[in-house]
Each structure stands twice: as C-alpha cells, then as structure tokens.
Structure 1
Amino acid sequence: MATGDEFPLPGSTYRGPAPHFARFRAEQPVVRVPATGGGHAWLVTRYDDVRAVLNDVRFSRAASYAPDAPRFPGLFQAPPGMIISLDPPDHTRLRTLVAQAFSVERIEGMRPRVAQLVDELLDRADSEAVTAPVDLLGRFTFPLALTVIAELLGVPSEDQERFSVWIRQFAAVDGPEDEAIAAREQLGEYMAGLVVGKTAEPGDDVLSALVRARIGEDRLDVGELIGLGYTLLGAGGDSTACQLASSVVTLLARERDTWVRLGEHPEEVPAAVEELLRWVNLPTNDTSGLPRITVEDVEIGGVTIPAGDAVFVSITSANRDEAVFGSPDELDFARGGEHLAFGHGIHQCLGAPLARIELVLALRELTRRFPAARLAVAEQELRWQPADMNHRLLELPIDLHGKGF
C-alpha cells in the first residue's frame, strides 16, 4: 500500500473502487491494511475468494457486535439483531420466516403498481421539464424507491416524507450521532406502532405477511419485525434509489448510444440493468460495508487470517475481477455472467427480485419517453454526498428533452 493510505481507501467513486483494488487483485488478493482510527482490517478482493467468505460461517457477522470486536469509526454498522447481523442458527430461523412473506408471486404481483408509480412520477417530472431541468433524484429515483418500500410495509402515504428524513439521518455515517440516534428511535417507535396495527388488523402487504409468518408455533416478535422494517427501508429504499441514479448518470455520461438503443429496444433493458449492477460502484467504502470476524484461524486465498480479526469483502472489486469478467472496467451490455451486486450465500439480498423490477421498469420507461435526455451539467460538476453508506448524489439535474451536455 502507499504510505499513509488507510481503510476506507481514497479514490472511490460511483465509477469504480479505489485504484488500490486492481493492484490487490493482482498482487495481494487477501491483504491486511491499517484502518482509520487505529487497528487493521483484512480486505478480500477476488471474485472466488469473496464468494468463499460469503459462504463460510467462520466469518461471523454476529461476532462483530462482541464487546472486544474491532471497531471502525465512521463506517455504518447495522444494529444487532437485524437479519444482516446474525449467524446461523438465528439467521436461518429468521430467514425462513421472512421468506414466507417474500414469495415470487407476491413480489411479481407488485409489478403493475411499480409500473403505475413510474408512469405517474415521470408524468409529473415531464410537466416540470418544460422550462427547466428536472432533479431526477428528488423527483423520481428516491420517490419511486421509497414509495415502493413504504407500500410494501403498508405505510400510509402521508407518513412517507417523514420516513425519508429519518432514513437519511439514520444512515448518514458522518452526521451528528445524536441525530442518528433520534432518527433510529423515531423509526423504531413508528415501526412498533405499525406492527401493532398490522397485528390487530392485517392488510395485504409484506409487513402483515411477516406478522402472519409461522414455523410451527414460532413467529417473529415485535423487535424482529421492527428490525426487518429497518432493513427494508435502508436497503430497499436508499440502495435502489442510488443505484438507479448512478445508472442514469452512467448511461447519459458514457453510453448515450446505448440510452437511445434501449429506448428503441426495450427487450434489452434487463441485460443492461445486470451490467449496470455489476459496473456501478454503490458502497462508498468499496466493500459490503459490514465487517465479519473470524471465529478461528481461517485460510482464504492462500492467506491465514487469525481468529478475532475483521474481514471486509469487496463485492465491487469482485465484480471487476479480470479472471471472471473480460475487460471488467468496460461496460458490455451483452456480457452475461453472475455478478455479486446482491451478495451471495446466506445473506444474499432477499429484495433483489423487487429491485430488479424497479430498475428495469424505470430505465425502460425513461429511455422510451426521453431518448434525447441529457445531463443538465457536465458530469464532473455533479455534486455528491461527501460521506454516506452509498455513493449518493445531492441532485441529478436532467434535461429530459436534450438541451444539456
């Protein structure tokens, strides 16, 4: 490593991970690096090794909450007890119950409503585009993702704006700690009330289905239901919105011909979405963002990691692994291949099918309606949130009818 560089490493953008990762893949695919604030962490950077870690219970998520576990100030760490914070058998139980509410039929049944929301939001954005560029982040990507998740949970429309504020405060890794704590408490109180309401009077939504889920006499308790609400709001809302926004920037700034082609050939949009999921670098620290702790000495990629050390897997680096994806830094919309954008193994994202529906329907309609769309400012002038879980724009000014860059 270059002298003075610490994890999280400098140089990460939505276009790709810090330049260190290419060198790590070539020379030190499992590497020990100093961490900001003291201590160290291990980074796993190659595709096969990342998959191996994600499949190995000796790399423990739950152990990262032990009092003596390594700490990484400035990195978001999910609260304990959430599904992404557990190991088997606790995780297996929770995942089995949750899977009952995330059936293929239920998620696929949301497609018409997502399509309706896409149409309504784009109608509104187009009406505002007559005289000025439109902030597609504020007018489309975030309203779409947050509305879908809120409706999934059965949250009334009048409460969705409050949800948006709480989520941003809760997820901001460099924001005031008291603000994040207050937002978490407000979300918790609201989710508790929602759970009580759904228990007394279930609706046709996923939260009600989670309330009804059973394994024999076992069921999810209130705390677990609240934690699942957090997970859906953060991963399903923020991550989907940021991925969609970065995908739009990628196409308009780098692949204008592809944008036009997708509008003319909507059947090609699903493959384009998969390549954008591989290529766009979503997390700001270039890893899954969540440490795993070795519960014993473990060999991975020919390197032995001692028990008790923190390990971060770099999914975005794995998705640029030259051994798996030819010319990985280039966009190839006919590429195919199994990217790791939604993770792998027991913690693979349950909401991936819904995210794919949103991304495909949104890009299909954007490219069809607005073939001449352009960024309203040069790409280098786009303003990004200085620190967050995900690479997140502050705004995305778009000229929907083609007068920008």
Structure 2
Amino acid sequence: MEPRCPYAHTLDTLGSDLHAEAAHLRTHGPAVRVGLPGGVSAWSVTRADVARQLLTGNRLAKNARRHWPDWIEGRVGPDWPLASWVAVESMFTSDGADHHRLRMLTAPAFSPRRVEALRPRVRAIVDTLVGALRAAAPGETVDLHSRLSYPLPTTLICDLFGVPEEQRPEVRRVVDGVLETDASPEQARAVLDDLFAAMARLAATKRESPGDDMTSELIATRAADGDRLSEKELVSTLILMIGAGSETAVNLIDHTVALLLSHPGQLALIRSGGATWRDAIEESLRLEPPVMHLPMYFAAEDVDLGEGVLIRAGEPVLFAFGAAGRDPGLHPDRPEDFDLTRADKTHLAFGHGRHYCLGAALGVMEAEEALGALFGAFPGIELAVPEDRLRPQESFIVNALRDLPVRLEPAAGERAAVAAG
C-alpha cells in the first residue's frame, strides 16, 4: 500500500523557538516533511529512537554529489542558503572509504592524549580572559559571550590550526556566516566563496611557512601520501574543523552558564560538592544542545519508517540532534527540567554513529575549565536580564545566544544590603 501523504511543515528559518518547534514536529510522526530556505524540501527527524535507528547502517548517506539528485542535476546550487553544508568535500560530507580516510587524517589531533595535552593552553586562555573581566565595576553589565564564551574556543582552534593573527578576523567572519539560514542567493554564494578563499589562503600560508600545527600536518600528510588529500579536501577539512571546533564550544559555555545562573539551587549543588561541572555540562548538552538541526543526510535507498512515512532514495534528511534530549520517549521523567542529579543525561548533542563529533571531548574540556574559573573568580555572578529575555541567534541550525549579559559582582549598595541581610 502506498503510504499516505504525511504532515508537512515550513521550518522557522530564524529559529524563534527551536524547542517548541521540535516538540511540535515530534508529535506528527517518525519523520516530518519540512520546507527549508530556497524551496528545498527535506525530512526532519526529531525522535531519538528514530535518529539512532537511521544513523546505524547504510540507509543514509552524506555525499550530496552522489546521492542528492537536485544537487547533482543543478536544481540546487552554490547560491542555496545552506550550500556551505553540502558543497565541501570533507569527512562531514563523505561516506564509506572516503569518510574513513578523511577522518583518520584528523582523528589523531583529538585523541584523549592530545586533548588532555591542550588543557594547560586552555587554562592559560581562560585565565587571561577571566583576568580581564576583573576590570568590570561592581554592578556593571558585561557580555560574557563576547568576553569569554566566544574568544576561548575560537582562539584555541585558531592556535591549533596555526591561523596567523592577521587572518583570524576573516576566518571568524566566514565561519560565523555559515550559520545564517535566511541569506539571499547572492549572500549565500558570497559566503561560500569567501569561506573557500579564507581557508585556501591559510593553506597557502602554511605551505610557505609550515609550523607545529594541524594545518601543516594535513599538508604534510597529503605530500607524503600522494593524492590521498586533494586540494578541495584539504580546504574543506579546514572549513569543517575550524568551524565545528569553535561554534559548538561557544554555545555549550553560554548555555551552561545561563542555566546555572537561572537555577541557583543547581549551582549550589556544585559548590557544596553534590554535583560536578561535568554534571552541569552533560545536563546542559541534554537540555540546551549547541546544535539543533544539522544539515544534511540523504536517503541512499527507500526507507519505510512506518506510520505512513516513506523516505524515497535521494531525498534529504535533517536530523534534529538537539531535540533528542527533551524527547519524552528518551527521558520520560521531567524532560524539560534542569537537574544535575538526573541519573540518565543521555543526549545526541554530538551526533551519533560514524559521524559522531571528533571534537566532543575538547569542547567539554574547554567548558569545564571556563566554568571552574568563572564561578571561582566571581561567586556573586548573576544574570543581568531575566532568563526569558536572553536573545537567541537567528538560525534553525544552531542553538546559540547572541549575547550573555551578566553582572560579575553586585553593585556596592546591593552588596551592603545582602550583607545586612
């Protein structure tokens, strides 16, 4: 029997209420047909069990150049607002042997040993940033996003890949531009062109002046192994690693700080030894994951999910990895509550299966160092606005804050009032 016509929904490109939209989609089936910018139709998966099922095995693919007819035949091209997510040729958009080869080139940089070896460098960056925050006057509002959450991961990843200081502003600009999901065709094409140009410039710089960094290692591996890494693969890998290596950690730090400040009882648990920073990070990843929808997978064959949902071969699939942590099917006990004592904090914030995020451990380590230093230095820190007035970034891909206004210490009068008690 031909499956019935399923429910369809147009995604809010500005991501006005990511969690409410995901919860709405979850009620309508194992996958829901959604409209993306540029008139592209895809299937959105918001249920954790369905995501795990689909991401195990070979029914889905990542390579648009082989599995997406609209891309192959030119109906969708470089001026599509999400083109940056499929036009690259990296492990993020590869399958099978190509994916394995490309992942093995970068995996050593994120091994447990290498990540732990980076801790002193992370701690030094954090100490510098937190030290600069001490100049704020009592009661002054400070944007923690621009002063700590954003510069820590972006500085570290630029250090790791040897990005020269003069190239860093442009690298940061083009990486941030990928996250804009309401761009015009002209803007989308410019973002894609600028993205490739910035990383090609970095690669050229490192060919001329190699150093002790990941970009130089990737270039040397290519030279040593012949055609194992093409020029486009090299540039695309830099796009992936520098972009993913910063954005996820930025959002993780922002959201964990905001959640702890808006739940003082949970913060008190950490201060009393009843919970750890790692507990806070994992519960934050479950409740406020850094990424909501991650483009893009493609059906390698017809996939029948039941309930009248048949995904045809070649159709795009968009996983709402950020929706899994609040899925009542995964967390039937108070899925919307922030609870550090929760025994099961399972989430899919870093993906699942073969494409699980390589940099997950690094992002968690950065957050641990940032949280410990921040709350240790400023025991009186508080949000400067109510939690519901924090401004989200306008994107349906990332779950991010535009800023994080805090007061590091109460104003003098407030401090005296508290002391008087």
Assess same fold via TM > 0.5: yes
The structural deviation recorded for 1:244 is 1.5
Question: Are 2:8 and 2:34, in contact at CA under 8 Å, matched by a contact in 1?
Answer: no
The structural deviation recorded for 1:10 is 8.7
Specify the alignment match of 2:260 in structure 1.
251
Specify the alignment match of 2:229 in structure 1.
220
State which drifts further: 149-158 or 265-274. Answer: 265-274
State which drifts further: 114-123 or 386-395. Answer: 386-395
Question: Are 1:61 and 1:87, in contact at CA under 8 Å, matched by a contact in 2?
Answer: yes
Counting only pairs closer than 5 Å after superposition, residues 120-159 of structure 1 correspond to structure 2 as 120-130=128-138, 132-159=140-167
The structural deviation recorded for 1:273 is 0.5
Specify the alignment match of 1:108 in structure 2.
116
Letter in 1 for 2:296: P
Q: TM-score, normalised by structure 2?
A: 0.83
Aligned-partner Cα distance in 2 for 1:191–1:291: 22
Specify the alignment match of 2:251 in structure 1.
242
Letter in 1 for 2:156: V
The structural deviation recorded for 1:116 is 0.9
Which SS does the other structure have where 2:150 is aligned? helix
The structural deviation recorded for 1:251 is 1.9
Match of 2:319 among 302, 313, 322: 313
Q: CA distance change for structure 1 residues 391 and 103 in 2, over 3 Å: closer, same or farther?
A: closer
Question: Are 1:260 and 1:371, in contact at CA under 8 Å, matched by a contact in 2?
Answer: no
Aligned-partner Cα distance in 2 for 1:44–1:389: 14
Question: Are 2:13 and 2:37, in contact at CA under 8 Å, matched by a contact in 1?
Answer: no
Q: TM-score, normalised by structure 1?
A: 0.86
Aligned-partner Cα distance in 1 for 2:272–2:210: 43
State which drifts further: 5-14 or 86-95. Answer: 5-14
Identity across aligned pairs (percent)?
32
Aligned-partner Cα distance in 1 for 2:88–2:161: 21
Tell me, which stretches of 5 or more residues in structure 2 are unaligned? 415-421
Q: CA distance change for structure 1 residues 76 and 244 in 2, over 3 Å: closer, same or farther?
A: farther
Aligned-partner Cα distance in 2 for 1:167–1:117: 21
- Would you say 1:324 and 2:334 are equivalent positions? no
Aligned-partner Cα distance in 2 for 1:305–1:42: 8
- Would you say 1:56 and 2:65 are equivalent positions? no
Question: Are 2:266 and 2:339, in contact at CA under 8 Å, matched by a contact in 1?
Answer: no
Letter in 2 for 1:350: L
Cα RMSD (Å): 3.2
Specify the alignment match of 2:417 in structure 1.
none
Encode CA deviations 1:63-109: one digit per residue, 9 max, x unaligned. 24423677996546512313211121221221122223333222221
Encode CA deviations 1:354-376: one digit per residue, 9 max, x unaligned. 11111111112222222221111
Larger Rg: 2
Aligned-partner Cα distance in 2 for 1:292–1:383: 29
State which drifts further: 322-331 or 136-145. Answer: 322-331
Question: Are 2:138 and 2:407, in contact at CA under 8 Å, matched by a contact in 1?
Answer: no
- Would you say 1:293 and 2:294 are equivalent positions? no
Q: CA distance change for structure 1 residues 177 and 392 in 2, over 3 Å: closer, same or farther?
A: farther
The structural deviation recorded for 1:43 is 2.4
Aligned length: 397
Specify the alignment match of 1:232 in structure 2.
241
State which drifts further: 141-150 or 229-238. Answer: 229-238
Which SS does the other structure have where 1:291 is aligned? strand
Q: CA distance change for structure 1 residues 310 and 16 in 2, over 3 Å: closer, same or farther?
A: same
Q: CA distance change for structure 1 residues 360 and 130 in 2, over 3 Å: closer, same or farther?
A: same
